Amino acid sequence: MNNLLIELGVEYIPSKYLKNISKILLENINNNFIKNNLIYSNIEIFETINRIGFKIINIKHNNIFLEKKGPNTNLIYNNNIINNWIKKNNINNLNNIKILIDKNGSYLFSFIEEKILLNNKIKLILYNSLINININEKMNWNKFNKFKFIRPIRNIVLILNNKVLNLNFFDIKTTNITYGNNFFNKKKIIINDIDNYSKLLYKNKVISNYDNRKKFLLRNIKKKILNINGYINFNNNLLDIITSSTEYPIIVLIKINFYNISIDIIKYILEEKFRCFIIYDIYKKDNLLPYIIYISNTKSININILKNKIKNNIESYINNINTLINKDLKKNLIEYLYYLKNISFIKKENLLTKIKIIEKLSLYISKFCNSNIYNIKKISLLFKCDLVTELGYFFPKLSCLIGKIYLEKKDKYKNLSHYLNDIFLIRNNKFIIDEIRLESCIVYISDELSTIVSIYNNNIYIPKGNKDFLLIKNKVDNIISIIINKKILISLEELINKSIFIYNKYNKIIDKLIFYKIRDLILSRFELYIINAGYNKLIIKSIINNKNLNYILLYKNLVKSINKFFINKKIYILISAYKRITNLIKLNNKSLIKINLNIKKKLINSKLENKLFININNLEKYKYYYIYNKFDYIINDIYKFSINIIKFLNMVKIFKNTKFLENRVLLLYKSKNILDYIFDISLLINKL
């Protein structure tokens, strides 16, 4: 059985990249195994701050036979030709010779098993897996400048069946030597048996398996807090960061004075700045216990010295925060509003101007839903004021949360504090939409939409993919989710135009295409939103392509109704009618017949034609049905209309009678508009 161990000894892998790099390397190894016709039964992954490793069990050749074409079967009795071919191709087993027929006739073929040394394949696999690693955060770290990695590679372990495979990778020679925990004693470890790899590392204070290290961490934290009747509501992101940034976590319980500062601020400071876990009372779950769990990666001779050092650092920091809060509370929150003019938003735009835009846009949106206008006005004025407080200056990410806390302390607008908390939760994607108040949602939409208008108008580059540091996609996704879940019945066109109109009052619109850019952005994100809900991509594209309808709130129900229409196969009648009309319109375009704007009733020549005429003139009723969410009525009406069109076209030859020609061609144009009213049928024609 062929077992392989690969380990890259790396100089400090940042915690946020560890899992991703390990995943990419694993994909590369698997792809290279396939290319080299190798298979394995199991793989174990090792990931720590200083190493990434793989133990691959039971490697085998996936038998490949090379096909060698021989002489024509007509020459089968010519021994010289046959023997020469066998000798030339080193065919040792005559059972591997078969007769096959190809397009040129009947020939002898031999099937020779491919044999390349496993050692050479493994070396090639490792080399190609490393050299082709596709990560953005790479650095030059050797004299060759041909290979980049996240951090410098210091050693490479490459062992097959407990023997070192010699490979020189950019001046790093593979060995069977690894090292223990840097922070305890960086002891040299010689690996004689790869089955003992994890045990050897554990003896030297390295828990090499990520999941085992995480379990070790959780188990020991729970033991520590048991004696103080505490529990921890684990932040999974923080837990992953700590697991990735330690090789052998040391759990330290420390008593801390929180100075009666709000739990929300304490939580942020300890988790974001010090990477600590806060502890709640197991019996009073909203109460914070005066303790923290700190994870150390370093062995300390005296644990009390370590505790005191951490305690002094944290308490000093919290005391400074307390001083800032007391200074801020000398004013009411609304008194900070005027100072927002000193903060530039984008180029010459300032936040006080932005507040005015947000207020006006929020009041406009409030007309389309049942909301409290007084609260919306006040929230619009208050929700950015904390940015110019002392605490807001140091922690801008806590904007709205700081405002909420200050309003609760002492303020005439104390009753509005929960609205600010809602906006903070939406911004940080920590919200459950049903628990968020409508007024908070409206102010959030106005804030983010005015930001998007400003970004496009000032021609600020919007990065694509995962590099979207402006979080534009996230903002749009939240806007869509709020409009749908809070049932805000507003036209997308009206919403964007109003945002641009209000913005233009304070900041001149430069980009003339800004409406289309914002609309396309929102519709592209909405398309993904609906597709992720499990609906047919083709239906969604055909609806979004249609510019008649732009109420985001109603799209979802429209998709459901059209989906039923597809299932019942009624769509084919509509497509048939559409095709025939389109072909006739093409014929008319060739003949250059001019048409009037209005159908002349006196030239209506049959009952069926009159039915179509009545339908066309009643187009306004579709707008009524649309607004009131009656899509089944619209679709059934269009379906019946399609049947009447087909009957009409079967009965009448459009281009035969010149007296009725112009009127009937116009009837076709108007009929096409009816068929196209709720979705773009042209997208469906070649797809169904």
Buried b (16+ CB within 10 A) or exposed e, 31-69: ebbeebebebeeeebbbbbbbbbbbbeebebeeeeeebe
| 88 lies in the same domain as 51 | no
In whole angstroms, what is the distance from residue 340 CA to residue 195 CA?
64
Secondary structure in 3-state letters for 464-480: CHHHCCCCHHHHHHHHH
- 386 occurs within a structural domain: yes
- Whether residue 359 is predicted with pLDDT greater than 90 in this model: the reply is yes
How far is residue 126 from each of residues 154, 169, 177, 558, measured CA to CA in Å?
16, 9, 17, 53
Q: What is the pTM of this model?
A: 0.75
| 51 lies in the same domain as 25 | yes
In whole angstroms, what is the distance from residue 245 CA to residue 182 CA?
12
| 674 lies in the same domain as 609 | yes
pLDDT of residue 628: 75
- 153 occurs within a structural domain: yes
Residue 653 one-letter amino acid: K
Nearest CA to 156 among 3, 8, 5? 8
Residue recorded with tokens 């070790």: 216
> What percent of the chain lies above the pLDDT cut of 70?
86
| 122 lies in the same domain as 92 | no
Q: How many CB atoms lie within 10 A of CB 331?
A: 14
Q: Which two tokens stand for residue 497?
A: 């135009």
Which helix (H) or strand (E) segment is 301 a member of?
A: none
Task: Locate the DSSP E strands across 165-262.
Answer: 168-169, 172-175, 177-179, 188-190, 230-231, 250-255
Q: Which of 146, 176, 203 is a domain's end point?
A: 203
Q: Which of 145, 175, 203 is a domain's end point?
A: 203
Residues 6+ apart with CB under 8 A from 498: 361, 364
Angle between helices 571-591 and 658-675 (to 10 degrees): 140
Q: Does residue 628 sit in helix, strand or coil?
A: coil
| 137 lies in the same domain as 225 | no
| 35 lies in the same domain as 152 | yes
Q: Which two tokens stand for residue 516?
A: 């289309």
How many structural domains comprise the chain? 5
| 154 lies in the same domain as 10 | yes
In whole angstroms, what is the distance from residue 379 CA to residue 479 CA?
18
Query: What pLDDT digit, counting tens, does each position of 427-465 carry?
Result: 988 888 888 999 999 999 999 999 999 999 988 877 676
Residues 6+ apart with CB under 8 A from 407: 333, 382, 413, 414, 416, 417, 420
Query: What pLDDT digit, counting tens, does each position of 543-590 carry?
Result: 777 766 577 777 777 777 877 777 777 788 888 888 888 888 777 665
| 172 lies in the same domain as 101 | no
**Domain region containing 443:** 337-534
3-state helix, strand, coil in the chain (%, to 5): 55, 15, 30
- 29 occurs within a structural domain: yes
pLDDT of residue 5: 94
Mean pLDDT value across residues 70-90 = 65
Alpha-carbon dihedral sign for residues 579, 584, 587, 592: negative
**Which of the 8 DSSP states describes residue 273?**
I
- Whether residue 85 is predicted with pLDDT greater than 70 in this model: the reply is no
- Whether residue 66 is predicted with pLDDT greater than 50 in this model: the reply is yes
Residue 516 one-letter amino acid: Y
What region, left, alpha or beta, does residue 43 occupy, with left being phi > 0 and alpha being psi -120 to 50 degrees? Answer: beta
Which residues, in sequence order, are bridge partners of residue 179?
188
- Whether residue 69 is predicted with pLDDT greater than 70 in this model: the reply is no
**325 pLDDT tier (thresholds 50, 70, 90):** very high
